[in-house]
Amino acid sequence: MPTQKSLHSIPLTSLKGVGAVLEAKLHQLSIYSVQDLLFHLPLRYEDRTRAFPIRELKIGQQAQLQGEVVSCSVQFGKRRSLTCTITDKTGFISLRFFHFSAAQKDALETGKCVRCFGEVRRGRNGFEIYHPEYKILDDPSAAKTSDTLTPVYPTTEGLQQLRLRAIIGQASALLANHEVEDFLPESIRQRYGLPSINEVLHTVHQPPLHASSDWLLQDANPAQKRLAFEELLAHRLGMRKNRIDINQIAAPALTLNSQLIAAFLKQLPFTLTGGQLSASGEINEDLQSGEPMLRLLQGDVGSGKTVVAALTVLHAIGNGYQVALMAPTEILAEQHYWNFQDWFTPLGIHVGWLSGKTKGALRREQLENTLTGKTQLLVGTHALFQEGVEYNKLGLIIIDEQHRFGVHQRLALREKSLKDNLTPHQLVMTATPIPRTLAMSAYADLDCSVINELPPGRIPISTALIGSERREEVVARIEAACQKGNQAYWVCTLIEESEELQCQAAEVTWQQLSTALPHLKIGLIHGRMKPAEKVEIMAAFKAGEIQLLVATTVIEVGVDVPNANLMVIENPERLGLSQLHQLRGRVGRGQAASFCIMLYQSPLSATGKKRLLVMRESTDGFYIAEKDLELRGPGQVLGTQQTGMMTFKIADIVRDADLLDNVQDASETILQQHPQVIDRLIQRWLQGSETYIHV
Ligand code: ADP
Ligand code: MG
């Protein structure tokens, strides 16, 4: 094929009808060249290749129809509308217009032939389409239909679908004698059986005649596979490249201070599990290597990640380095602070505290101690890396994350702490297990350690699903159990992420339960209480002075009361499965059998039911996370939909899970043998998404 001017350098304005105004609109869609237009992929397709038989229509279907007008009149219902009924001999359907003119009504004369396109819905008397696109055909036998499916593109305000489609049509016509540069080396394409990019782009914009409307998203479609592969590869390369850049900088090589470690282990009331030991061993190797550690520590709720973190902290402190431990919320950070103080004070280690709420003299003191190095471990929230916080000799950063931090966030944090040309080590702990596919794509820049067992003696929690109509029965069961000496949580949830409303809801529930159960000692804890109050309540609960603790989801993280073996979760259908798993993990820590009652709001939707059944079936965090991913998608599972992270144009890590191993291999081949295409692949797919490319 003769390669003429590269499509990348053809300006948009060279296309017919594209002037400066339209060009600016296209820029809003991150389209800067003709080649970019070709990578602007359809969301779906419309089938305008034929008239669909009315009898075979389904509700919700987008279809092209053709038929003869049998009646057309103005209806006076709740809203005035023009209703035109047509038939194609297989059935009848009504076209409804809420905005219409007299001329329109007159034109839709009985006996005329109409071709229309729109979404089928259920009407009072059979099928209807609201405001279809339509055309009156004077000579139905001569009217042409399209030859291929009609692509529908994502667009932006002020740019009509028809216009955009026409422009992209021009661009794809150029594919006949121009080539889009294929960044996938021939050898890789052959190895994985992927078609060339030219072929793929051509069919994507002009799909095969009999393809269905979700053709592009279909599993077995080679065009989809090729594009998804390339997109996943670009993402992975972006992350691998970050990692390689980071490895260019040295990190302190830390030798193991066995005395300090031994002193710490001696004061623990248990011995480490095999899983904890092996994770800790992997971490120690990293710390000794002189290359920066960048490791993800995974383990199910209750597997004992905190102890492994503590060993890592001691490893750094034993070499005279400081450690920063950051948690995503105040409450989780506080839990860590109390915990580490208990463990480390007897060892003569100074633990500091810093959050956004630390103000005045206390803040000055903490900053001073951090700067002079008196503070050896500083625990807190994002405030740890704000302007004005200076470390003396930071050697290790530990992040306990609920959701994935952006790569750029972590890099900023790293730059801040760069001293003597040495970069600190980093350990990331996840609050929830991450399914393998998600780990392979979203965490490709991290090494991974998994604590694959729970401490011995844990009895699996039994979970019951009970509808809200049986609430009183549940209250009675809780009363009986507490009177026998058990302790229970009652967790209130809300749809809104508003902390304030959540706290109010918990207060109302607390009052109701206090009235209903006058003989029980009932406590209340939520995020808006003062830290000292929270500590007091938790201490009373731990000591058994409170029998029933009403709480918001603040107890999701960190809370540890082994005697509490009952939990009621109200409206569990509002939470993600991983979050439910975290919550439920607060019980089942003691010697007695534990129970969790999920008190759902009836009736449950079909998916809602499916999700809660997963909770009843399993207590395996990894399995639950897999199901959560299948049912909700990666954005929800990572909690990152706001940042746009892990949003792919075409790939879908559940559907395309089978590509990931090959993508991983291909990315290593490219890094070693074809480094020249890396930046261009990243540019092609991640343009405009700052997440990975701003190194
Ligand atoms: P998570 O992995 O969910 O953060 P934690 O670190 O909070 O778990 O540990 C959960 C509980 O298990 C804590 O009470 C902790 O003291 C206890 N624990 C940790 N390791 C062990 C072990 N090896 N044997 C017994 N109990 C342990
Ligand atoms: Mg934890």
Proximal ligand: closest to the CA of 304: 1
Residue 210 is predicted with a pLDDT of: 65
Residue nearest to atom 19 of ligand 1 (CA): 304
- The band of 636, judged by pLDDT with boundaries at 50, 70 and 90, is low
CA-CA-CA-CA torsion for 413, 419, 421, 424, nearest 10 degrees?
-50
Q: Is the CB of 562 under 6 A from ligand 1?
A: no
Q: Report residue 306's pLDDT band, with 50, 70 and 90 as the boundaries.
A: very high
Taking the CA of 301 as reference, the closest ligand is 1
CA angle at residue 675 from 672 to 676, to 5 degrees?
Answer: 155
Q: Is the pLDDT assigned to residue 688 strictly greater than 60?
A: no
**Residue 149 — very low, low, confident or very high, per pLDDT cuts 50/70/90?**
confident
Ligand in closest contact with the CA of 265: 1
Pairing of the two strands 447-451 and 294-299: parallel
The 10s digit of each residue's pLDDT in 439-466 is 787 788 889 999 989 998 888 899 999 9
Q: What angle do CA 573, 430, 577 make, to 5 degrees?
A: 15
Q: What is the mean pLDDT of residues 376-388?
A: 90
Determine whether the shortest distance from the Cβ of 299 to ligand 1 is under 6 A.
Answer: yes
Instruction: Give yes or no for residue 305 CB within 6 A of ligand 1.
Output: yes
Do residues 231 and 39 make contact, with C-beta atoms less than 8 angstroms apart?
no
Q: Is 542 in the pocket of ligand 1 (CB under 6 A)?
A: no
CA 440 to ligand 2 center in whole angstroms: 22
The per-residue pLDDT for 695 is 23
Q: Do residues 419 and 390 make contact, with C-beta atoms less than 8 angstroms apart?
A: no
* 307 Cβ below 6 A of ligand 1: yes
Average pLDDT of the chain is: 86
pLDDT value at position 3? 46
User: Can you give the pLDDT at residue 690?
Assistant: 42
Give backbone dihedrals phi and psi of 506, rounded to 5 degrees, phi first: -65, -40
Contact 543, 465 (CB under 8 A): no
- Mean pLDDT, range 29-58, rounded to an integer: 88
Q: Find out whether the beta carbon of 108 lies less than 6 Å from any atom of ligand 1.
A: no
For ligand 1, the distance from its centroid to the CA atom of residue 455, given in whole angstroms, is 7
Which tops the pLDDT comparison, 404 or 450? 450
Q: How confident is the model at residue 512 (pLDDT cuts 50, 70, 90)?
A: very high
Cis ω for the linkage preceding 603 (within 30 of 0): yes
For 337, phi and psi rounded to 5 degrees?
A: -60, -50
Walk across the sheet containing 351-354 and list its strands. Answer: 351-354, 377-380, 322-326, 394-401, 425-430, 294-299, 447-451
Whose CA is closest to atom 18 on ligand 1?
304
pLDDT: is 612 or 542 the higher one?
612
Instruction: Using the mean position of ligand 1's atoms as its centre, give its distance from the Cα of residue 224 in Å.
Output: 45
Q: How far is the CA of 296 from the centre of ligand 1 (A)?
A: 18
Q: How far apart are CA 122 and CA 140, in angstroms?
A: 27
pLDDT score, position 264: 97
- The residue nearest atom 14 of ligand 1, judged by CA position, is 560
CA–CA distance from 504 to each of 154, 329, 332, 490, 549 (Å)? 41, 20, 21, 14, 15
Atom 25 of ligand 1, residue of closest alpha carbon = 455
Tell me the average pLDDT across 278-286.
Answer: 97
Distance of CA 360 to the CA centre of its chain: 37
pLDDT digits (tens, 9 = 90+) for 83-102: 999 999 999 999 999 999 99
Q: For ligand 1, what atom is nearest to the CA of residue 303?
A: 2
Q: Which helix (H) or strand (E) holds 534?
A: helix 531-542
Q: How confident is the model at residue 691 (pLDDT cuts 50, 70, 90)?
A: very low
Q: Closest-lying ligand to the alpha carbon of 557?
A: 2
Distance in Å, CA 259 to ligand 1 centroid? 22
Mutate to test the pocket of ligand 1, among 268, 277, 307, 337 (most ligand atoms within 8 A of CB): 307
- Summarize the confidence of residues 263-291 as an average pLDDT: 96
Q: Which of 178-182, 306-310, 339-343, 351-355 has the lowest mean pLDDT?
A: 178-182
Look up residue 409 and give its amino acid.
Q
User: Could you tell me which residue, 123 or 350, shows the higher pLDDT?
Assistant: 350
Substitution candidate for ligand 1 out of 267, 273, 280, 306 with most atoms within 8 A of CB:
306
Instruction: For residue 178, name the pLDDT band (cuts at 50, 70, 90).
Output: confident
Structure tokens at 604: 């449950």
**Gap between the Cα atoms of 52 and 30, Å rounded:** 36
Interval between CA 558 and ligand 2 midpoint (Å): 5
Mutate to test the pocket of ligand 1, among 338, 560, 587 (most ligand atoms within 8 A of CB): 560
Residue 306 CA to ligand 2 center (angstroms) comes to 6
418-446 per-position pLDDT tens digit = 666 788 999 999 877 888 887 787 788 88
Is the CB of 588 within 6 Å of ligand 1?
no
Question: Hey, whose CA ends up nearest to atom 4 of ligand 1?
Answer: 305
Q: Is the pLDDT of residue 601 over 70?
A: yes
SS3 per residue for 588-637: CCCCCCCEEEEEECCCCCHHHHHHHHHHHHCCCHHHHHHHHHHHHCHHHH
Q: Above 70 in pLDDT, residue 635?
A: no
User: Comparing C-alpha atoms, which of 13, 188, 156 is closest to residue 681?
Assistant: 188
**Of the candidates 591, 558, 587, 422, the residue with the CA atom closest to the CA atom of residue 489:** 587
Span from the CA of 390 to the centroid of ligand 1 (angstroms): 32
User: CA dist 288 to 251, 292, 436, Å?
Assistant: 9, 10, 27
CA of 273 to the centre of ligand 1 (A): 10
Q: Which residue's C-alpha comes closest to atom 10 of ligand 1?
A: 302
The DSSP bridge partners found for residue 522 are: 548
Going by alpha carbons, the residue nearest to atom 17 of ligand 1 is 304
Contact 82, 96 (CB under 8 A): yes
Residue 492 contacts residue 572 (beta carbons within 8 Å): no
Residue 301 Cβ < 6 Å to ligand 1 = yes
Contact 466, 600 (CB under 8 A): yes
% of the chain beyond a pLDDT of 70? 89
pLDDT mean over 675-687: 88
Distance, in Å, from the CA atom of 327 to the CA atom of 334, rounded to the nearest integer, reads 9
User: Which tens digits make up the pLDDT trace of 180-228?
Assistant: 889 999 999 999 999 999 989 988 898 876 666 666 666 667 888 899 9
Higher-confidence position of 19 and 559: 19
pLDDT: is 646 or 64 the higher one?
A: 64
Residues 6+ apart with CB under 8 A from 30: 36, 687, 688
CA of 403 to the centre of ligand 2 (A): 13
CA of 336 to the centre of ligand 2 (A): 8
Pull the structure tokens for residue 209: 């005649």
DSSP-derived pairing of the beta strands 62-76 and 113-123: antiparallel
Of 42, 29, 36, 34, which is closest to residue 207 (Cα–Cα)? 42
